[in-house]
Structure 1
Amino acid sequence: MKLPTDHPNPLVRSLFSFWAPTAESMRGWALASVVVNAGIAVTGAGVRVTGSGLGCPTWPKCTPDSFIPVAHPELSMLTMLVEFGNRLLTFLVLAVGLACVVAAWRLAPRRRSLMRLALLQPVGIVAQALWGGLVVNTMLNPFTVGMHYLLSVGLIAACWMLYARAGEGDGPARRVTHRDIRRLGYVLLAAVFALLVVGVAVSGTGPHSGDEMASRFDLDIEAVARLHADVVYIVVGLTFALLFALHISRSERPARRAALVLFAVELGQGVIGYTQYFLAVPAALVLLHVLGSTLVWIAALRVATSLRTRTPLSTAPSPTEEPATV
């Protein structure tokens, strides 16, 4: 009897590649985890902008007497389906996370660094699901809603690190550019995270709360929006500085390409942000802005990991690489 990993259909082989993983398929599952975690973060915003945040007003049940959407005189079936659909996506994200764990466990030789990063996924996804219940039980309190997105940001970072480490060895980290340029890359990553936090504050203060009964932060929306714009200028400035430093230092092409992609994504996100501001924050552009924010975060993670590499423990370092001191 043939195993699914020996199936003649390449799609079937890919779906079951976690059982007989290679370094390439391990990286593929890690990338899939980045995609699904980013996807559920964006669809969560879709729940909010469509006013479906309390479509299922209880948790873990959708309604007090059913786990699935059923006709209810006080609830819209459409909003129930939107909210319930986002809940169902959690199982897809969990399935991909578990596939990463199995792939890391069965990879030969087994790498402890990959196992640790892979295990963060099911743990984080379960924590996210429980936090989602808190979001519902607090009637979409803006703090719990914002933390829900930031937890996704943390999970995406863990997934990206699994992807990056799966393509490297387990030797000591070695920088591929000047030490100060690498430090600038980490400052940029911290600034992008700060930008996401301020963006959460803007979302929790402005419209599109997810439901008419949801509360809002008691902040001046104009002041918070201006702060958000100021942090955007800092992030774009740091990105340009990093791109310029990588160019004049003739750093490796992957690092320069990663910085250029980040800069381009930031410019596109800026266009979306200003457009939604001048058009009084339409729901469709808010959703697109959340997608852009998630892509900016992934691009910033890519920049950070492109500034260093790891060699296999048994391999001597290249004479062109310098030891990382930070």
Structure 2
Amino acid sequence: MKLTDHKNPIVRGLLSFWAPTPASMRGWALASVVVNAGITVTGATVRVTKSGLGCPTWPTCTSDSYIPIAHPEISPLHMTVEFGNRLLTFLVLAVGFACMVAAMRLAPRRPGLLRLAWLQPVGIVVQALWGGLVVQSALHPVTVGMHYIFSVGLMAACWMLYARAGEGDGPVQRLVHRDIRRLAQALVAAVLALLVAGVLVSGTGPHSGDDIASRFDFNIETVARIHADIAYLVVGLTFALLLALHVTDAARSARRAALGLLGIVLLQGAIGYTQYFLAVPAFLVGLHVLGSTLVWIFALRAATATRTRGPAGALPSPAREPATADRV
């Protein structure tokens, strides 16, 4: 009996990367989106619990051990939280490799999917190495911030793998008016700017990950105001996209994607203002990071819902019209 013919559906699903179908390929891509978003949130948990240097060395946890051991100067809780986050990297890497193997073994092979799939394990290894730099820099806000930005890039690659796995390999075809398509792309850029501004706020405010960690020398009121202003822009662009899709009677999938994004953005704004007025409690910071990952993923979803490359399994065909800007 083949491994992929196993009677247990869970085992069969876990082994599906070896004999992939378009559906299982897409399933592994979605799993990669989830685990990359998840480790981003657990990374924030490390920071808000002051566990950033729970394992003060890298790749070892302490100078003489790869795993947590009793240390007079380190809290066992901080060590456990930080080491647990490191262990999650192996889960993310395993899912990334599964995506890569599935893309390599998918028949017929799709070079576009394969390139996106290769980004998973390579990007995760780069992230792990950068994590070592974060520790060596004693949680400098630049290295911590770039750690998050790398995760944003990985989540984008994962989402594009998911989106491309559900369509064909033909040229990009717009499903909406050109200007609406551009609006969706501008929205993605605005959300990216919002995330970068959020990194500056996080690097300036409390919850550095450890008492010895340095902070950006910015005025917290100023960077928080800039962050809020960009958030207003994102809300406006999201509402405009939803309205444009509605009045043009666009596909239901595109309208649902924009509506979902608007809901997440408004909820994220409520969390942001609440944490600001409550002096930035740790729990709400973690919830805000979760919200930021969802806003990013939903923004990508809204953008990809405005275009297609034909139905899954369709062969490439000549472009109907130039679409050089239609990449997302």
Q: Which residue type is aligned with residue 5 of structure 2?
A: D
2:259 aligned partner: 260
| Counterparts of 2:125 and 2:185, CA distance in 1 | 29
Q: Tell me the CA shift for residue 3 of structure 1.
A: 2.3
1:126 aligned partner: 125
1:13 aligned partner: 12
Is the CA contact (8 Å cut-off) linking 2:40 and 2:151 kept in structure 1? Answer: yes
1:107 is the counterpart of 2:106:
yes
Q: Which residue type is aligned with residue 175 of structure 1?
A: R
2:51 aligned partner: 52
Q: Deviations over 1:112-132 (max 9, x none)?
A: 111100000110000000000
Is the CA contact (8 Å cut-off) linking 1:175 and 1:322 kept in structure 2? Answer: no
Tell me the SS of whatever aligns to 1:251.
Answer: coil
Q: Which residue type is aligned with residue 57 of structure 1?
A: P
1:155 aligned partner: 154
| Counterparts of 2:286 and 2:182, CA distance in 1 | 32
1:278 aligned partner: 277
Tell me the SS of whatever aligns to 1:59.
Answer: coil
Equivalent residue pairs, number? 323
2:315 aligned partner: 314
Q: Tell me the CA shift for residue 314 of structure 1.
A: 3.4
Q: Which residue type is aligned with residue 155 of structure 1?
A: L
Superposed, 1:63-74 pairs within 5 Å as 63-74=62-73
Is the CA contact (8 Å cut-off) linking 1:49 and 1:287 kept in structure 2? Answer: yes
| Counterparts of 1:107 and 1:59, CA distance in 2 | 37
Is the CA contact (8 Å cut-off) linking 2:171 and 2:316 kept in structure 1? Answer: no
Q: Tell me the CA shift for residue 322 of structure 1.
A: 6.9
Tell me the SS of whatever aligns to 2:87.
Answer: helix
Is the CA contact (8 Å cut-off) linking 2:116 and 2:160 kept in structure 1? Answer: yes
2:187 aligned partner: 188
Q: Tell me the CA shift for residue 144 of structure 1.
A: 0.3
1:36 aligned partner: 35
1:293 aligned partner: 292
Q: Which residue type is aligned with residue 314 of structure 1?
A: L
Residues 136, 276 of structure 1: CA spacing in aligned structure 2 closer, same or farther, 3 A cutoff?
same
Give the gaps of 5 or more residues in structure 1.
none
| Counterparts of 1:304 and 1:211, CA distance in 2 | 38
Residues 55, 315 of structure 1: CA spacing in aligned structure 2 closer, same or farther, 3 A cutoff?
closer
1:305 is the counterpart of 2:307:
no
1:61 aligned partner: 60
| Counterparts of 2:322 and 2:289, CA distance in 1 | 37
| Counterparts of 1:75 and 1:172, CA distance in 2 | 56
| Counterparts of 2:230 and 2:316, CA distance in 1 | 42
1:78 aligned partner: 77
Q: Which residue type is aligned with residue 83 of structure 1?
A: E
| Counterparts of 2:316 and 2:73, CA distance in 1 | 66
Superposed, 1:223-262 pairs within 5 Å as 223-262=222-261
Q: Deviations over 1:130-178 (max 9, x none)?
A: 0000000000000100000110000000000000000010010000000
Q: Tell me the CA shift for residue 294 of structure 1.
A: 0.3
Q: Which residue type is aligned with residue 19 of structure 2?
A: A
Between the aligned residues of both structures, percent identity stands at: 74
Is the CA contact (8 Å cut-off) linking 2:170 and 2:318 kept in structure 1? Answer: no
Is the CA contact (8 Å cut-off) linking 1:269 and 1:289 kept in structure 2? Answer: yes
Superposed, 1:161-176 pairs within 5 Å as 161-176=160-175
1:137 aligned partner: 136
1:212 aligned partner: 211
TM-score normalised to structure 1 length: 0.97
Is the CA contact (8 Å cut-off) linking 1:175 and 1:323 kept in structure 2? Answer: no
| Counterparts of 2:15 and 2:314, CA distance in 1 | 29
| Counterparts of 2:3 and 2:96, CA distance in 1 | 20
Q: Which residue type is aligned with residue 6 of structure 2?
A: H
Q: Deviations over 1:271-294 (max 9, x none)?
A: 100100110000000000000000
| Counterparts of 1:45 and 1:18, CA distance in 2 | 30
| Counterparts of 1:313 and 1:24, CA distance in 2 | 15
| Counterparts of 1:314 and 1:81, CA distance in 2 | 50
Tell me the SS of whatever aligns to 2:293.
Answer: helix
TM-score normalised to structure 2 length: 0.96
